[in-house]
Amino acid sequence: MKHNISYKFLFKIILIAFILIYNFSCEKDEIKPQSLFETKINEADKKLSPSKAIIDKGIISISAFQVKQNIKSALVITVKGDKESLYEQEYDYKTGVSITQCGLTYKIFSRTPNIEPEYYVSYEGFVKITSIDGKRNTISGEYEFRVRSIPDKNNTKQVIKGSFVEIPLK
C-alpha cells in the first residue's frame, strides 16, 4: 500500500513541530514592564497612573497623574542625576534656600471654570533611584517629600511619599 504524502505537507508538519519544541524548551526573557506608581499624601493612598520617565542631559524626570470626575492631579519628580543613587533635597533654614538635588511638584486642576489649581512644591525630601534597567528600559525607586502650598496662602504642609516600579523610560 502506497502513501501519498506531499513533501510540502511533510515539511510544514516538521516546521511546526520544530517551532513548538523550540518555544517550549528555551527559556525566554520576556520584557513586559509592570508599571506601578504608589503614593500617599498625608498617609492617604492616591491612585496615580505613571505617565512617563525621561533621562535627558543628566536629569531624570518622572511623572504620574490621576483623573477623577472633574479633577486632574499631576505629580512630577525631578532628579539632578542619571544613575542609581540617593538624591536629597534639603532646606537651609538660615538662608531660606532649598539645596536641590531633587524635587517634587504636585498640582490639582479642576475642570470647572474659575477654580484655581492647588499647587504644592517640595522643600525637603529624597528620591532613591533603585534601578535603571537598560535592557527593559525602565526605572524604579522610592521617594518622600515635605511640600507646601503655593501661593503660600495658609502655608499648608503635606508629606508625599511612595514608590515607582518599572516605569518605562522614553
C-alpha closest to that of 120 among 37, 36, 38, 39: 39
Helix (H, G, I), strand (E, B) or coil at 19: helix
Write out 56-85 in H/E/C secondary structure.
ECCEEEEEEEEEECCEEEEEEEEEECCCCE
Residue 27 lies in a domain: no
C-alpha cell at 113: 471654570
pLDDT category at 141 given cuts 50, 70, 90 is very high
Residue type at position 124: E
The whole-number average pLDDT for the span 23-44 is 65
| pLDDT value, residue 37 | 87
How many domains is the chain built from? 1
Residue among 162, 57, 62 at smallest CA distance from 103: 62
Q: Tell me if 62 is assigned to some domain.
A: yes
Q: Is residue 31 part of a domain?
A: no
Q: What is the mean pLDDT of residues 33-60?
A: 86
What's the pLDDT score for residue 19? 57
Residue 116 included in any domain: yes
* 3-state SS assignment for residue 16: helix
Mean pLDDT on 29-52: 76
In a domain, 11, yes or no: no
- Alpha-carbon distance of 157 to 124, in angstroms, equals 11
Judge whether 26 lies within some domain: no
pTM given for the model: 0.74
Q: Residue 162 above 90 pLDDT?
A: yes
Domain-located, residue 119:
yes
Q: Is the per-residue pLDDT at 165 higher than 70?
A: yes
Q: Is the pLDDT of residue 28 over 50?
A: no
Domain range for 145 is 36-168
Domain membership of residue 46 (yes or no) is: yes
| pLDDT at 11 (0 to 100) | 54
**pLDDT tens digits for range 76-135:** 999 999 999 999 998 777 776 677 889 999 998 888 778 888 888 898 999 999 999 999
